[in-house]
DNA sequence: TTGTAAGCGTTATCAT
DNA sequence: ATGATAACGCTTACAA
C-alpha cells in the first residue's frame, strides 16, 4: 500500500501568497469576506501552482462527501440512461460527483452502510426503491438529503402525472378506433405501475370498454417479461388490436412476440410503450411512447440536493407527453382522429 | 452549511475495547498482527456499536479515495451498460465505489483536475479516450492506476481481437452466399474502429470481393449516423445484400433506414452489428452481432486496479464471439453453410 | 478583512 | 503484539 506523494496544499498557497490558510479557504469557498487585492494575489498563486483543493480533506472537515449517489435495484434499465444524464447535468458547475449504487438483498442495511461510510451530499432513489419509506427515513436519520424519483405515497418525491397520462394515452387510442386494448403492467408492488394501471382502467371505464382481467397482464419491467406478457395477450380472443406496456422494454418484448407470431406492427397489432427511453426510437417500427421526463426530474433532484435551503421538497409536478411514432395504426372507426401513424417525428 | 453530528469513531471503539486506536485500525485493515483475543473483543465492540470506518478519514490518511472512475466521452452509449455492470461486479466485496465521469471539451485538463481532486484508486478509460496516450500518461504521473479498455497502440489496455473477429464475421457472411457486403465503420480516428475495418478488408480481399470505397461508410457510433450510413449504402448499385456495422447502435440505424425504404430484414437485406449490446436482442428482427465481452473486460480492469501487485498490466486477450440471431438471410449460393437465419437463440 | 488554534477520523512511524 | 504521537489538508470557532 504505497502512499503517493502529496501535491500543492492550501498551506503552500498561503505561504506563497503571504496570507493565512483561512483566507485561502475563504476563497475556495467563495466567501465574500476577502479583499480585492488579496483575492487577486491568491488567485494568481493558485493558477501558478495549479493548486486543487483536496476533496478528501474537505470531506473530512465538513463531514460529508462531494458525491451524490444514484441508488437503484437494476430492475428498470431503460430509464437509467436518462436519469444518469439528468443528474450529471444537474451537477455541472459543482464539485459533485455521481456514484452509481445498485442495491440488492437487504436493501436497507446496504444503504445504511453506504451512507454511513461515504456520507454522500445526497441520495437519489429510483423506483421501486423510492417507494420504500424506510429508506427515506433512514437517510433522514443520518441527515443525508434524499430525493425520491417517481410517484410516492405521501407526496414526497419527484413524480409525474402517470395516471392521467396513461388515461390520455388510452383515450387517444380509442379515438383512433381501438376498442380492445391490452395492458402490460409493471410489478404489482410498484406504485408507479399501479398508477399507470389505474389510468388505463379510468379511461377504459370512461369509454365503457372491456377491461376484464384477461386484458391485463403484469410484467416486471423487463424485456423478457414483455415477451411473455405479449404471448398471453395474443391468445386472448378476440385478439386486442392494441397493446400498451407500462415501459418501453416490455413494449419491445411484446413487439418481439408479435414478430415471432408473424404479425406486422402496426398493421396487425398496435403497440405503445411508456417512458420514451432511447430504445423506443431505435426499434422497428419506431415505438409510440408516453414520454416521462426522467432526465429533467433527475436534474431537479440534484438541484434540490445542492440547494442549501431546507425547503420542504416541493412536490413539483412533471408532465408526461405523448410521442407519436410508427407503432400505432388508426383503425378509422372515427375519422375525426387526425393523427396518422405515419406522423413519426424522427428525421 | 450545517455540520452533521458525528457518529461512532475509531476512538470510541478503542476506548470501549480497552485498546489503542492503532489496533482498531489494524483490524479494519485486516492486518495479521493482532492477537486472537484482542481481535475477538474488538470485533464484538464493533458489532455492538455499529461502527463504520469513515471513508473520508481513510482517504485523507491514505491519500487516495475509495472510488474507481469510469471515464468516457459519451460517444458509445451501447457498451456503457455492460461496462458499468462489469465494473460493479469487479468491485463486489471491496469498499470501492463506482464514479461516472463523462468528459468533454479539454479532456486532458478535465481528467487532471478530477484525479487531482478525488485521487481515485483507479481510472478506467473507455474508447475513444482509452486511445489517447496522453491521458494514460497523465494518470501515471499522478500515480493513479489507469486501465484502458479497447485496442490500444502499445499493447497496453484490455482489448479483444477486433480485427480477426470482423474477418470471421465477414467470412461467415460469405459462406452464407453474400458477395456484396457493405460496412458502416466507426470514427476514423478510433483505433478499435480501424481494426474492425481492417478485418473487413482482410476478409473481403481473401475472398476476392469488391471492397471499393463506395461499400464503406464511416459513422460516429451513433444511431443517427447509422441511419445516414444506411441511406448511402442502399444507394450503391448493385445494392449490397448485407451490411455490417461496427456497433449495434449503427446497425439499428441501418435497420431503420431499411424499414423506411420498405425493405424487409433479413429477406431484402441482411444486417449485422458488433458488440452485442442489449439493443441487439431487443430490436426486430433480433440482430446478429459479434459479441465483445465488455463486461468481462471491465471486471478485469477493476481487478487490475485492486491488485496491489505492480504487475505490468498483462495484455490479456479477450475473444469476440458470433451471436447468431435473425437479421441475416442465407443466400444459399453455397449450400455448405449450415447456419440458418432462424437459428436465433432467444427462448 | 484577516489570522490563530483546535479539531475532523484515520493511518504510518517508531517505540515498547 | 500493541501503543503514543504526529501527520493528512481542510474548516470552523474565536480573536484581532
Chain A residue numbers with beta carbons less than 8 Å from the beta carbon of B252 are 282-283
Per-residue confidence at A162, pLDDT binned at 50, 70, 90? very high
Per-residue confidence at A340, pLDDT binned at 50, 70, 90? very low
Q: Is B283 on the interface with A (CB under 8 A)?
A: yes
Per-residue confidence at A346, pLDDT binned at 50, 70, 90? very low
Cell numbers for B319, please give them.
Answer: 475473444
CB contact under 8 Å between A119 and B282, yes or no, is: no
Chain B residue numbers with beta carbons less than 8 Å from the beta carbon of A251 are none
C1' of D2 to CA of A4 (Å) = 27
Among A215-224, A304-313, B124-133, B329-338, which is the least confidently predicted range?
Answer: B329-338
Per-residue confidence at A297, pLDDT binned at 50, 70, 90? very high
In degrees, rounded to 5, the angle at the alpha carbon of residue A48 between the alpha carbons of residues A46 and A50 is 60
Residues 6+ apart with CB under 8 A from A4: B63, B64, B119, B142, B143
The CB-based long-range contact list for B143-148 (8 Å cut-off, 24+ gap) reads B143/A2, B143/A4, B143/A5, B144/B64, B144/B115, B144/B119, B144/B120, B145/B121, B145/B304, B145/B305, B146/B122, B147/B122, B147/B123, B147/B301, B147/B304, B147/B305, B147/B313, B148/B124
Per-residue confidence at B340, pLDDT binned at 50, 70, 90? very low
Which residues sit opposite B123 in a β-bridge? B69, B146
Q: Is A1 on the interface with B (CB under 8 A)?
A: yes
pLDDT on residue A93: 87
Quick check: do B5-58 and B62-159+295-318 share a fold? no
SS3 state at A260: helix
pLDDT on residue B224: 98
% chain A with pLDDT above 90: 71
pLDDT at B1 over 70: no
pLDDT at B347 over 90: no
Q: Is B121 on the interface with A (CB under 8 A)?
A: no
pLDDT at A52 over 60: yes
- Is the alpha carbon torsion for A54, A57, A62, A63 positive or negative? positive
Cell numbers for A22, please give them.
Answer: 483561512
Kindly report, residue by residue over A115-157, the tens digit of the pLDDT.
988 999 999 999 999 999 999 999 988 889 999 999 777 767 8
For residue B238, whether the previous peptide bond is cis, meaning omega lies within 30 degrees of 0, is: yes
CB contact under 8 Å between B4 and A283, yes or no, is: no
pLDDT on residue A342: 40
Q: Is B1 on the interface with A (CB under 8 A)?
A: yes
DSSP-derived secondary structure letter, B246: S
- The CATH number assigned to the domain with range B62-159+295-318 reads 3.40.50.2300
CB distance A106 to A50 below 8 Å? no
SS3 state at A211: coil
Structural element, H or E, at residue A42 = helix A36-49
For residues A41 and B286, the model is more confident at B286
Among A179-193, A298-312, B199-213, which is the least confidently predicted range?
Answer: A298-312
Q: DSSP secondary structure string, B18-53?
A: TS-HHHHHHHHTT-S-S-HHHHHHHHHHHHHHT---
Topology of domain B5-58, CATH: 434 Repressor (Amino-terminal Domain) (1.10.260)
pLDDT on residue B33: 84
Question: Is the CB of B256 within 7 Å of strand C?
Answer: no
C-alpha span between B90 and B275 (Å, rounded): 20
Domain A161-293+321-345 top-level CATH class: alpha beta
Question: Is the CB of B260 within 7 Å of strand C?
Answer: no
- CB < 7 A from strand D, the residues are A 6-7, 9-11, 21-22, 24-25, 28-29, 51, 53-54, 56-58, 60-62; B 1, 3, 18-23, 26, 33-35, 37-39, 57, 60-61, 63
Chain A residue numbers with beta carbons less than 8 Å from the beta carbon of B259 are 284-285
The residues spanned by each domain of chain B are 5-58, 62-159+295-318, 161-293+321-345
Beta carbons within 10 angstroms of residue B301's beta carbon: 29
Q: Model's pTM, two decimal places?
A: 0.90
Locus of grid cell 451524490:
A68
Going from the C-alpha of A233 to that of each of A221, A255, B192, B263, the distances in angstroms are 16, 12, 44, 28
Per-residue confidence at B313, pLDDT binned at 50, 70, 90? low
Per-residue confidence at B345, pLDDT binned at 50, 70, 90? very low
Residues in chain B, total: 347
Amino acid at each position: 500500500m504505497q502512499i503517493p506523494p502529496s501535491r500543492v496544499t492550501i498551506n503552500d498557497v498561503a505561504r506563497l501568497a503571504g496570507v493565512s490558510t483561512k483566507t485561502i479557504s475563504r476563497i475556495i469557498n467563495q466567501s465574500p469576506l476577502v479583499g480585492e487585492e488579496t483575492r487577486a494575489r491568491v488567485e494568481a498563486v493558485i493558477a501558478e501552482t495549479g493548486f486543487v483543493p483536496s476533496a478528501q480533506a474537505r470531506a473530512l472537515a465538513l463531514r460529508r462527501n462531494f458525491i451524490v449517489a444514484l441508488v437503484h435495484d437494476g430492475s428498470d434499465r431503460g430509464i437509467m440512461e436518462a436519469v444518469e444524464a439528468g443528474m450529471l447535468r444537474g451537477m455541472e458547475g459543482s464539485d459533485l460527483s455521481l456514484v452509481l449504487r445498485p442495491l440488492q438483498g437487504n436493501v436497507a442495511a446496504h444503504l445504511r452502510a453506504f451512507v454511513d461510510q461515504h456520507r454522500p451530499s445526497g441520495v437519489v432513489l429510483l423506483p421501486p426503491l423510492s417507494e420504500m419509506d424506510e429508506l427515506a427515513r433512514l437517510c433522514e436519520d443520518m441527515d443525508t438529503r434524499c430525493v425520491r424519483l417517481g410517484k410516492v405515497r405521501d407526496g414526497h418525491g419527484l413524480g409525474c402525472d402517470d395516471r392521467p397520462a396513461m388515461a390520455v394515452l388510452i383515450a387517444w387510442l380509442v379515438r383512433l378506433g381501438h376498442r380492445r386494448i391490452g395492458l402490460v403492467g409493471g410489478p404489482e408492488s410498484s406504485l408507479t405501475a399501479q398508477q399507470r394501471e389505474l389510468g388505463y382502467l379510468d379511461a377504459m371505464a370512461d369509454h365503457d370498454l372491456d377491461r376484464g382481467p384477461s386484458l391485463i397482464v403484469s410484467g416486471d419491467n423487463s424485456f423478457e417479461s414483455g415477451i411473455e406478457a405479449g404471448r398471453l395477450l395474443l391468445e386472448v380472443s378476440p385478439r386486442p388490436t392494441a397493446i400498451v406496456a407500462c415501459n418501453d422494454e416490455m413494449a419491445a418484448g411484446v413487439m418481439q412476440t408479435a414478430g415471432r407470431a408473424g404479425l406486422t406492427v402496426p398493421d396487425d397489432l398496435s403497440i405503445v410503450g411508456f417512458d420514451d427511453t432511447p430504445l423506443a426510437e431505435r426499434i422497428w417500427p419506431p415505438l409510440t411512447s408516453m414520454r416521462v421526463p426522467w432526465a429533467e426530474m433527475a436534474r431537479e433532484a440534484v438541484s434540490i440536493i445542492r440547494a442549501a435551503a431546507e425547503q420542504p421538497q416541493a412536490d413539483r409536478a412533471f408532465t408526461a407527453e405523448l410521442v407519436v411514432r410508427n407503432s400505432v395504426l388508426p383503425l378509422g372507426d372515427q375519422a375525426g382522429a387526425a393523427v396518422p401513424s405515419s406522423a413519426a417525428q424522427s428525421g
